[in-house]
């Protein structure tokens, strides 16, 4: 696939200067296509288009935006197979995962936003004052490669619903689903300039987009390191910056929990998407007296997970996204060994028979402590760190002893005891007894995991300003 043009002001346009990048299929280390890399001039053109489109689009009716979201949803349904295949090729997700979750989440966010928009109160009264929630303006949307369409959709859908205009910079590692998504929006009749897309890397496109004086808001999902850079770039203009960043989420298994169920589900959840999820339960905290039993369950579960080509039968883990990620993960696994954690399963090197491609062995460390590197740093690969604890109070203390605060997991005998522990965690969301995510709830983190929220009502409100009209309701 090739995407050598950018989408600006309602049409595909040539880049200011043609500079291309090969997109590598991580399953076979071969090129699966090319994209053009944009520069500051391309960013300027896209932002100018969004700025020009904002006055008209910000005044569209709720009904007009509902109709637009409905057309986009229909387009996503028609192109789901194309989207899934693109995601598998560009970032290596198993074919079943690309279809059932990766591409499906795009439509899920648009549907959630559509339903919300039908009844959302953009105006309300407080005494004699009328409160209006109005679109914030031109938005820069910068998205990652690990759940590419999911992250695009949970930004673009609420931005459109709010009446904002936008420029999207998708990840240059996984750009092709974004090109298909752009085709869907074009065919749905999104007005010229409302949605613009410029491919590129962080320095070439991300930086000038974040610092552009005509951008009113930056919504970014990615690493904490990049989030810092974006915040600094946006600071001169006092832009709103919404960040969804890294995580090192704890999974607390309480003493009376069903150990077999809790540990096996925890391992499977950690290894999903080859561990490339910012909210992955990467630290498993288990009672010290049950640690050995939990390790045996984790070992058996991890060994049963198939690592293979994304299209292979029964595959659970495909490759990680790139050679850069592969090398980083290998170095951290080695560091875990060197620092004295017990290597239960996996380890350095590629799985047997998979020498071509960026495949990582599902790896479990046990008898770790929370000061080890593998318990502190976000590995972003299929690596689980198991930490024994002496009391529930200690488990909560260990769980909160991290610069991150994106997600948490608690498994108890009852929902009530799990919820009690969840209330003590300094994280943006918590999963109780294996519960999955819910697009109605807000997604985002505390501390260095970010400062905004996505999904549902809270995600929509990131794109809204509040205006008080005094005396309007006398």
> Among candidates 243, 270, 205, which has minimal Cα distance to 443?
243
Beta strands 20-25 and 11-13 are unpaired
Write down the catalytic residue from 139, 154, 164, 278. 278
Between CA 455 and CA 187 the distance in angstroms is 25
| Residue 457: active-site member | no
**Residues whose CB is less than 8 angstroms from the CB of residue 342 and which lie 6 or more positions away in sequence, other chains included:** 295, 365, 366, 367, 368
* Residue 302 main-chain phi, psi, to 5 deg: -65, -40
Write down the catalytic residue from 90, 112, 172, 244. 244
Put residue 464 in one of left, alpha, beta given phi > 0 → left and psi -120 to 50 → alpha. beta
| Residue 278: active-site member | yes
**What spatial distance separates the first Cα and last Cα of the chain, rounded to whole Å?**
60
Put residue 410 in one of left, alpha, beta given phi > 0 → left and psi -120 to 50 → alpha. beta
Contact 318, 285 (CB under 8 A): no
> Among candidates 72, 300, 60, which has minimal Cα distance to 186?
72
Catalytic residues: 244, 278
């Amino acid at each position: 696939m090739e995407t050598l043009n950018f989408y600006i002001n309602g049409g595909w346009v040539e880049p200011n200067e043609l500079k291309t990048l090969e997109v590598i299929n991580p399953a076979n280390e071969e090129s699966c296509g090319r994209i053009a890399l944009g520069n500051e001039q391309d960013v300027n053109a896209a932002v100018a288009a969004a700025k020009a489109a904002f006055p008209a689009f910000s005044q569209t009716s709720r009904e007009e935006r509902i109709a637009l979201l409905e057309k986009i949803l229909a387009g996503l349904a028609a192109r789901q197979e194309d989207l899934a295949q693109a995601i598998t090729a560009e970032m290596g997700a198993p074919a079943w995962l690309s279809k059932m979750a990766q591409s499906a989440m795009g439509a899920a966010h648009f549907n959630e936003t559509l339903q919300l928009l039908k009844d959302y109160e953009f105006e309300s009264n407080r005494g004699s004052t009328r409160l209006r929630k109005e679109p914030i303006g031109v938005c820069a949307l910068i998205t990652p490669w690990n759940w590419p369409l999911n992250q695009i959709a949970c930004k673009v859908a609420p931005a459109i619903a709010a009446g904002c205009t936008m420029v999207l910079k998708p990840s240059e590692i996984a750009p092709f689903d974004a090109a298909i998504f752009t085709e869907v929006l074009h065919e749905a009749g999104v007005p010229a300039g409302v949605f613009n897309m410029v491919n590129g890397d962080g320095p070439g496109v991300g930086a000038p987009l974040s610092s552009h004086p005509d951008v009113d808001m930056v919504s970014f999902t990615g690493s904490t390191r990049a989030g810092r850079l974006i915040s600094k770039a946006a600071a001169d203009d006092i832009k709103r910056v919404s960040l969804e960043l890294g995580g090192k989420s704890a999974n607390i298994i309480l003493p009376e929990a069903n150990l077999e169920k809790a540990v096996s589900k925890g391992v499977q959840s950690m290894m999903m998407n080859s561990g490339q999820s910012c909210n992955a339960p990467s630290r498993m905290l288990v009672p010290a007296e049950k640690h050995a039993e939990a390790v045996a369950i984790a070992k058996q579960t991890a060994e049963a997970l198939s690592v293979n080509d994304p299209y292979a039968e029964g595959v659970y883990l495909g490759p990680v996204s790139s050679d850069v990620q592969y090398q980083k993960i290998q170095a951290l696994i080695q560091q875990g060994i060197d620092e004295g954690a017990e290597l239960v399963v996996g380890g350095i090197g590629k799985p047997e028979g998979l020498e071509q491609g960026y495949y990582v062995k599902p790896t479990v460390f046990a008898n770790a402590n929370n000061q080890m590197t593998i318990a502190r740093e976000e590995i972003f690969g299929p690596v689980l760190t198991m930490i024994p604890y002496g009391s529930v109070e200690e488990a909560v203390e260990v769980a909160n002893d991290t610069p991150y605060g994106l997600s948490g997991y608690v498994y108890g005998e009852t929902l009530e005891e799990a919820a009690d522990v969840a209330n003590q965690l300094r994280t943006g969301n918590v999963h109780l007894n294996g519960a999955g995510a819910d697009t109605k709830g807000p997604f985002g983190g505390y501390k260095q995991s970010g400062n905004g929220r996505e999904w549902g009502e809270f995600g929509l409100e990131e794109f809204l300003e509040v205006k008080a009209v005094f005396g309007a309701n006398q």
